[in-house]
Structure 1
Amino acid sequence: MEIRQLQSEEFEAALSLSEYAFKYKVAGEDRVEARQKFRPERVWGVFEDGVLGAQLTLLPLQVYIQGKVFPMGGIAGVSTWPENRRQGLVAKLLSHTLQTMNESGQTLSFLHPFLIPFYRKFGWEVYCEYKKYSIPVDKFPRKTEIQGRVKRDSAALEILERLYSRFATEYNGTLERDQEWWKHRVLDAETHHGVFYSELGEPEGYVLYKIVQNELIIDEFIYLNEQARQGLWTFLANHDSMITGASLKLVPSDDILPYLLPDPRIPQENYPYFMARIVNARTFIENFTFQSLNSLESRTLYIEDEQAPWNNGLWLWSVNAEGAATFERLDSEKAAADLSCTIGALTVILLGYKRPAELAKYGQLNASSSGLDWLEEVIPQAKTALFDFF
């Protein structure tokens, strides 16, 4: 068995496996284009006797955490032939990929799971969810008279980038997008955009949308203030003679749009979305900003991480008066720890998806009384989101 990056001449083998596993077909010009875009150095495969048996793509991405950019390894396209399943090939790939990410300085990893329990075994945990709304046109937000206007399909990409970045940095776990990502992953020929400009001509929000079968499909709704939010909804409501309603997906979980509607009884759901995993706990924690304390305080934390031995074990976790942390490995046993949890639980606590007391209540975090109080004090309140897919 050999685990390695693919080579350019192995495009057909990789695509054939993806087509079979994900039940789609790429033909004609689309196949030619797919070959041109093929990045073999990003695809890792398991080979037996020279035959590709399983594969995954490792994307070098960056995400916002506390408004700062952290390197992240995005895992996508995990696939294996049915005759090779339940033989541990994907497990070996994931273990190898963790080592690769650690060596390259990617302190976090995200993936979209085909099965959440499967990836939990390897340390990934759900870190964000989104809301989905279906709004009949007669229940749209009320049209309002505002100072400003919306311009359709005329803004430069730089304007969308700037607005997205300002909005995305309010959440933990959102992608930092480069222009290639915008052009190939966010925008396409069928997507319209409307940008709200204030009375002074400043862009303050945008909406990305399509009109499909008399329905507005809203892909992104980004706003920096309430005026922009109302202005964009008034623009969308002016489509009322053309549509029967709107569908919104990937809405941040802290959104309160239904409460603001004249009639909030609309179809809506919350959906667990991506999973996250800390790859290197020491590097991540020492680059994280904690709530400042009156003085330097320390607690011990035992991390359970069978897949990444460089994380597994007992650590001395110190946070100083400025909120900076040090994280030092200890040789003592688990029984001596003030805090104990899996790497997945630690990930969602630090990203802000769940609070320490909440996880402790349900047995996902073992903590002494003083340890739990300390952790609640030093972990800042935060919210998580992701507006992309890979």
Structure 2
Amino acid sequence: MLYLDNAATTPVRREVLEAMTPFLTRTFGNPSSHHTVGEASARALDDARARVAHILGVRAGDVVFTSGGTEADNLAVKGIAVAAHLARGARHLVTLPIEHEAVLQSADFLARVHGFEITLVPVDGGGRVSPSAIADALRDDTALVSVGYANNEVGTVQDVAAIAAVCRERGIPLHLDAVQAAGWLPLGGTGADALSIAGHKLGAPKGTGALAVRGRIPLEPLVHGGGQERGRRSGTENVAGAVALATALELAEAEREEDAAAVAALRDAFIARVLAAVPRARLTGDRVHRLPGTASFTFAGTSGEAVLLELERRGVVSSSGSACAAGADEPSHVLTAMGIDRETAQTAVRFTFPHGLRQDLDAVAAAVAASVAAVTG
């Protein structure tokens, strides 16, 4: 079985498991406890925080450990927006219609509960937004701009440096959802004021993540209680998870440039073979600005779910898009926002490749062609 759904989750790396195990067994103390057992855990937590901060290009105190990317996105969008509303009456948020549900549903919450106005800036047919369109959407009462560094369904990468410059000129915080970008793209020097990552996309366990938010940006906590994480996220910290995230992030960063180039070459060859072998195939997402490990297609006149079943029968596991929306009857909001009609959007299949991939994907392309042929008769 060949697993090509790595945007959904990845296996835990051996090095990560070894790094975190002591903090599930011997060094098990509560890092808030004022005794030697707790203090050992606190030191490990501080060390993990500094390691994550170094790669993200922020101060250690800017890192908030979370339960994953969804919580990190929620904390960024709601926490920064509500703090801006309390401080200066801001009640406007700018984001894109192709964002992950964690961002879009947080925006919907702000609209329903706090009376925010939400501006969804349109994207082009490849899923890219124009920085000038974001500039045009900004207002004096804009609390936050939230943009995905790289899209989780089609892999399109945004011009984050230009977007950050637009926001900086107007003095408006920028949040980047970098959950899919981590390990493939540089995370430091983006110009963002807040950035979300998730460990399970990098070879750390599920339930690990972080939000980096620069200290000058007010942040209203969503979880109250013991005041952990400098009052920004209460709850006893997951020390083993923090160590796992730091280890996975360091490994991915050390391998990133060589790995990204090698996987991108295999991805391009795979895309070419699928497009040549399947007349109905259409590549989705930006052809140039895309993640090295993502190739997504629509196959007009088929059912995406039927193609996936045929692929799995042939030993290839992939997906129709975001795992968070699996089983939904509605077509992908990402694809429809890119101008793809609803019927075609429901034929989508996404292949997301692992870090370290080095073998060619000829057999997978052949399986795709055979699977599409099988469901179209």
**Which one has the largest radius of gyration?**
1
- Would you tell me which structure has more helix in proportion to its own residues? 2
- The answer to which structure, 1 or 2, has the higher relative contact order (CA under 8 A, 6+ apart) is 2
User: TM over 0.5, yes or no?
Assistant: no
The TM-score range, normalised by the shorter chain, is under 0.3
- Would you tell me which structure has more strand in proportion to its own residues? 1
TM-score (norm 1): 0.25
